[in-house]
Amino acid sequence: MRLYKWIVPITALCAFFLIDLTVFQAEDLSGFKRLVDLATSISFVIAPLIALVNYRLVSRPQFPSSSRPGKLMKALSYLGIIFLSLFAILFLLVKLGAVDLG
């Protein structure tokens, strides 16, 4: 619980500085575009990691066996994690200009 008291204010400060650096420093809407691009990039990169952590959590022996995923759900989970990972890589390649889809 002590760690929580530090993480929340630090997260709020970091969020404020990110918004300040991206939105309020620009004189037009380009700052807002940068903020949306940053949020989108972070979301695409973190999504496969969250899916993997979630899968590992529900597959642990400590999790009730009646609530653990079956074989079909495990296969769908693996496919989903692979899909999210490939989509995140493609997104970053497009954002960095290494791949042109147009």
Distances (CA, A) of 96 to 8, 39, 43: 31, 15, 16
Q: What is the pLDDT of residues 40-85, one digit of tens each?
A: 888 989 999 999 999 999 999 898 988 899 999 999 999 999 999 9
% of the chain exceeding 90 in pLDDT: 44
- pTM (predicted TM-score): 0.70
d(CA 27, CA 35): 14
- Please check the confidence at residue 1 and state whether its pLDDT lies above 70: no
- Cα–Cα distance between 4 and 1 in angstroms, integer? 5
Q: Are 23 and 31 in contact (CB under 8 A)?
A: yes
pLDDT for residue 35 is more than 90: no
Question: Residues, the chain, total?
Answer: 102
pLDDT at 98: 84
